[in-house]
Structure 1
Amino acid sequence: MRHWHPRHTLYTYRRVKKTGRINVSPPLVLTAGFAILSLIGMGLLLLPFSTHQGVSALAALFSAVSAVTITGLTTVDIGTIYTPVGQAILIGLVQIGGLGFVTLSVTAALALGKRISLQHQALAQEAFNQTSVSTVRQIAYAIIKITFVIEIIGIAVFTLWWWQNTPFLQALGQGIFHGISAFNNAGMSISTTQIIDYAGDPVIILGTTLLIILGGIGFSVIHDVRQKRNWRRLMPYTRIVILGTLALNIIGFCLIWLMERNNPATFAPLSIGDQALAAWLQTITTRTAGFNSVAISELNDSTTVLMMLFMFIGGGSLSLASGIKIGTFIVLMAAARAYIFQHTQPTLLNRAISEDTVQKSLALLLVTSLLIFFATLLMTLFESAPFISILFEVVSAISTTGLSRDLTPTLSPASQILVILLMFVGRLGPLALIYSLSAQRRGHIRYPETTFQVG
């Protein structure tokens, strides 16, 4: 065991004074950054000009954390409680939280001509799914460019469409908020009814889902497609994520439509075309975006369970979605297939999957599942709501989806604090876990194997 000695502190102080750098792990920096940003957001939302009637400190903190972690859950109605200034603060927090401190810090360091430490290079390469620092630089710059280009196009489309029936400034404000919220997979809306009123509007529904897909598929995938523009030349990861996204979207669309078509509280009153649009939005938004075209609390239990699975899976790595990620889910399925059919190793697209990747996926699955279990257990002690609503709330928070069965506004202070922690863990936890796994040291000692009964 390594004991503390005054010389260690003196050495650290001299090193910091000489180099100007503090050796702090990137996950700690990210956590501190998001926490500070959330506290700043809370302070701004508590100012008199941010609300029409004032909110509690806990409600302001809840809204700020939800925006920073691009979740979308709120205990108050954004459209009626917050003023245009307060709404601008929220969407600003969404934008900063969506881009992420990894991207912003890497881009800023490169722009200033500073060298990125080996520790930060390892994290950036792992997060960006790349093997060289030069590629990390390209993707860091590409993320900024892709984000603003897509958001500007989305904002322009929504503004022009809403301008037909509302004054231009109102349409512009609504377009900016909705466009940024959709692309960042935040699910926040300044409309009291979310986009239920636009359930039959193809421009709003298709525009929203396209932004959600682009934001949730992953920047490395978009960057690879922009560069290669040829299916065969794309990285195996890119092809797997695209195929997995298509499969999940098509399966979810068909199942949700099938299970809700006769539900008088959701799809039954709609025309066939509107049912298709509603089913498509609910499929896409469940992958951590948080918008809804029908009342979530009125969905059948079978649909609710399916949506929880989709929230749990989430989107692509290095995206604006959370969950365990599509890549993780596919790796786990490939590993299970390899074991069941007694293959020597799991493969995807004729490429072998490393043991480290499988272990990383298993660790992420186990940690996320345990967090959901214990959080659900705690919330059942705090709340008297139906179990399925509590479980849905927990999965939605930790996957930063933002959907709710009307439970969020009625949560007790203890449950609100629990949800705040879940949103934080959902946004930062997987990245911290990946870093800890990628930074672990290989031991030189090997122990004899033993048989251990499982299954």
Structure 2
Amino acid sequence: MSFLVLIALGALLLWLPISSHGGLAFSEALFTACSAVTVTGLVVVDTGSALTLFGQIVVLVLIHLGGLGLMTFAALTVMALGVRFGLRGQHLVREAMNQTSPGDMLTLVRQVALLAFTLEALGTVLMAVVWVPEMGFWEGLWFSFFHAVSAFNNAGFGLRADSLSAWAGHPLINLVITALFIVGGLGFTVLMDLRRHRRFSALNLHSKLTLSGTAILALGAWLLIMLFEWQNPHTLGSLPTGERPWAAWFTAVTPRTAGFNTVDTAGLIVPSTLLIILLMFIGAGSNSTASGIKVSTFMVILLATRSFLLGRPQPSAFRRTVALDVVFRANSVVVLSLMMVLLGTFLLVVFEPRLQLLDLVFEGFSAFGTVGLSRGITGELSLPGQMVLMVLMFTGRIGPLALAFSLARPRRRRVRYVEELVQVG
């Protein structure tokens, strides 16, 4: 409900004449607000040229509220006012932040907010070194701040129509932007665990799976993108040789739901496009500013498959056993996510018969993973097509399992039935 309210308020603010040059249709304002709150980055109007400074500030506020969560900011506001935060309030914050331990939620909220604001400020300063000399002080500073917030929150909103293509080979911009959305996508649980222990061996199993899965996916995708796109004149092949590894790295890690691009996404060859679709579906870490089925879910599915093939009763990793309840939950997340994104893609194909199938599939997975990458068709979609994307963005950000729980009201059965074998495979 908080996300729906934010989207509605954001749409009304963006619909105001002060928010844009020439005015936005309400459908455009609604789509932009939904994309910002769900930290997706898909746009039907160019953020930098169509929106005024006020409109850009509205988008940035929506990104922050959507990325860190409304409950986080509500808790911060209550603490700033000196109001006592009761047990019920802490329970709501714990649920909103997907925490299971009964620790002090207010301390966690303060740490999360401090970490986010510190990293965004650091990213702003580092990128201002490049952009202030190029654009002037105020414009360069705003450009740096906007992209730092957008990157950390994995939003993918940019102030240029070509995203960050002008800096495809710039080492500092590549490193800062990717570091921000990778850290933001690890998840606050992992970041707090790293802060407490600092050694990989001392981390909990969730943190180990998230960190190892992130590293494997990032490095593997980097090598594959370089292999597929090195000679492609529409992407890496158009860049000097020294800039190609940087552009390949950015292209490989941005599908974790960041949404920025330094090469033309529509110019990618089919193998690279399919790889990015898979990466967008996996997404980043749980309890982070990113979406997708989550890296930890993907790792649990792989471990469960390995355990079944080896004839083991339960999956294990790093000398720890994964609970069967977690395996069932991971399977449910994957199945519900696939059903949702395939249904959305099917509807896109029905509503947009003039567009290419691969482009529509890419758009559907990008919306559900709240990535924001596009092959250039978002602005060409009809109103029904845009509504499908908004539903996919909302579902992807909330999480299909959480949404199903809230709608279905599951109850524990008191009757246990006789087991019977079913043939599968």
Equivalent position of 1:21 in the other structure: none
Aligned partner (choices 189, 204, 228) of residue 220 of structure 1: 189
Name which one, 1 or 2, has greater alpha-carbon Rg: 1
Equivalent position of 1:394 in the other structure: 364
Equivalent position of 1:46 in the other structure: 15
Aligned partner (choices 77, 80, 83) of residue 46 of structure 2: 77
Residues 68 and 140 (structure 1), Cα distance of their counterparts in 2 relative to 1, 3 Å cut = same
Amino acid of the residue matched to residue 405 of structure 1?
Answer: R
* Partner SS, residue 423 of structure 1: helix
Q: Over aligned residues, Cα RMSD in angstroms?
A: 2.0
Structure 2 gap ranges (5+): none
Identity %: 36
Residues 123 and 352 (structure 1), Cα distance of their counterparts in 2 relative to 1, 3 Å cut = farther
* Partner SS, residue 135 of structure 2: coil
* Partner SS, residue 337 of structure 2: helix
* Partner SS, residue 286 of structure 1: helix
After TM superposition, give the deviation of residue 329 of structure 1 in Å: 0.4
Aligned partners of 2:40 and 2:253: how far apart in 1? 15
Aligned partner (choices 157, 174, 192) of residue 188 of structure 1: 157
Q: Is the counterpart of residue 341 in structure 1 residue 341 in structure 2?
A: no
After TM superposition, give the deviation of residue 121 of structure 1 in Å: 2.9
Aligned partners of 1:380 and 1:145: how far apart in 2? 44
Q: Is the counterpart of residue 93 in structure 1 residue 77 in structure 2?
A: no
Equivalent position of 2:84 in the other structure: 113
After TM superposition, give the deviation of residue 181 of structure 1 in Å: 0.4
Paired residues in the alignment total 422
CA contact (8 A) 1:335 1:358 kept: yes
Aligned partner (choices 193, 199, 212) of residue 230 of structure 1: 199
Residues 106 and 83 (structure 1), Cα distance of their counterparts in 2 relative to 1, 3 Å cut = closer
Equivalent position of 1:58 in the other structure: 27
Equivalent position of 1:444 in the other structure: 414
Equivalent position of 1:166 in the other structure: 135
Aligned partners of 2:76 and 2:209: how far apart in 1? 28
CA contact (8 A) 1:331 1:361 kept: yes
Structure 1 gap ranges (5+): 1-31
After TM superposition, give the deviation of residue 117 of structure 1 in Å: 2.8
After TM superposition, give the deviation of residue 108 of structure 1 in Å: 5.1
Aligned partner (choices 91, 115, 123) of residue 146 of structure 1: 115
Residues 150 and 443 (structure 1), Cα distance of their counterparts in 2 relative to 1, 3 Å cut = same
Aligned partners of 1:440 and 1:327: how far apart in 2? 24
Aligned partners of 1:287 and 1:439: how far apart in 2? 31
Q: Which moved more, 1:36-45 or 1:243-252?
A: 36-45
Aligned partners of 2:75 and 2:399: how far apart in 1? 20
Amino acid of the residue matched to residue 258 of structure 1?
Answer: L
* Partner SS, residue 402 of structure 1: coil
After TM superposition, give the deviation of residue 125 of structure 1 in Å: 5.7
After TM superposition, give the deviation of residue 157 of structure 1 in Å: 1.3
Q: Is the counterpart of residue 293 in structure 1 residue 262 in structure 2?
A: yes
After TM superposition, give the deviation of residue 433 of structure 1 in Å: 4.6
* Partner SS, residue 385 of structure 1: coil
After TM superposition, give the deviation of residue 92 of structure 1 in Å: 1.2
CA contact (8 A) 2:336 2:401 kept: no
Aligned partners of 1:297 and 1:379: how far apart in 2? 18
